[in-house]
Amino acid sequence: MKYFVSKRLGAIALALTFLVSSLTGCGSKNSASDSVEVTNNTVYRTVDEIKESGTINIGVFSDKSPFGYVDENGEYQGYDVYFGNRIGEDLGVEINYVSTEAANRIEYLQTGKVDIILANFTVTEERAQEVDFALPYMNVALGVVSHDDAVITSLDEIGDKDEVIVISGTTAETYLEKNYPDIKLQKYDAYAEAKTAFENRNGVAWANDNTEVIAFAIENPGYEVGIPSLGSADTIAPAVTKGNESLLNWLNDEIKALGEEKFFHADYETTLLDTYGADYEDTLVVEGGAITGK
């Protein structure tokens, strides 16, 4: 009996030894082929690590034309993707585009699923506590689109039983919940789901970035943007994992350099001109990270 107990204790001790050994052998690098830095439970890769891997992971929308969408050939296209392609080119790496929804943009950065988010990400103080924003490349405000036979020109026109469609995790959701808590919201995770619900009249209006609702009304007869600007003017910027100074600094330098060649105006003229026309170009585009009038 003593021999049995001793043998069993010895086996447990040996297992603990292997466990401790395996734990102490782990540093801040992931065991996967692409190494990562782990800081405060968040995961990220530095510029050198991205270059060494040969691939950068960029989160973009796959259903939000004309900013990020997948075309009939299965290729990512849009304003954000045009920028993403240049990032990959200047880093000298291949690009792995990761389809992202508004609600999981921060999560994808914190878990290391993507290195950069370019999914039409509005800069807010709340988000800046969880991710690091680079310099902006676009201006944006909120807007509200409704059916042209029942145009909403003021939020005061929304009745007690009416519902407004929003995308979960967007600034429209946050703004309405904070400033108009009595308005009932119908929330969707994906833009395609929200679009279908709105077309089926599941809501009296759809609140979103004004660029999105203007594009929707232009591309789809039967709708009108009754509120083209709601709340304060904001900016769109790339985001990286909190603390990833290496990639943040590289992005800021990249945006400044691209501004010298008027890159984002070229991006607009390639991807947004057909939707918004030339009149909106200087209003929407931020060149080189410089916000005019601020």
Q: How many CA atoms lie within 13 A of 284 on its CB side?
A: 26
Pick the range with the lowest mean pLDDT from 28-42, 56-70, 228-242, 277-291: 28-42
Q: Specify the pLDDT at position 7.
A: 40
66 preceded by a cis bond (ω within 30 of 0): yes
Q: Specify the pLDDT at position 219.
A: 86
Q: Is the pLDDT of residue 3 over 70?
A: no
Q: Is the pLDDT of residue 294 over 60?
A: no
Q: Is the pLDDT of residue 31 over 60?
A: no
Q: Is the pLDDT of residue 87 over 50?
A: yes
What does the pLDDT average to over 152-172?
Answer: 95
Band (42; pLDDT cuts 50, 70, 90): low
Q: What are phi and psi of 289, to 5 degrees?
A: 80, 5
Residues in the chain: 294
- Backbone dihedral region for residue 257 (phi beyond 0: left; psi -120 to 50: alpha; all else: beta): alpha
Tell me the per-residue pLDDT of 119-160, one tens digit each, with 9 for 90 and over.
999 999 999 999 999 999 999 999 999 999 999 999 999 999
Q: Specify the pLDDT at position 30.
A: 34
Q: Specify the pLDDT at position 293.
A: 45
Check: CB of residue 185 under 8 Å from CB of residue 177.
Answer: yes
Q: Specify the pLDDT at position 203.
A: 95
Check: CB of residue 50 under 8 Å from CB of residue 115.
Answer: yes
Mean pLDDT of the residues in the chain: 87
Q: Is the pLDDT of residue 291 over 90?
A: no
- Please choose, from the candidates 234, 181, 226, the residue with its C-alpha nearest in 3D space to the C-alpha of residue 207: 226
Q: How many CA atoms lie within 13 A of 6 on its CB side?
A: 3
What does the pLDDT average to over 267-279?
Answer: 93
Q: Specify the pLDDT at position 212.
A: 87
Q: Order of strands, edge to edge, in the sheet holding 184-188? A: 184-188, 163-167, 205-209, 138-147, 223-236
What does the pLDDT average to over 221-244?
Answer: 94
Band (204; pLDDT cuts 50, 70, 90): very high
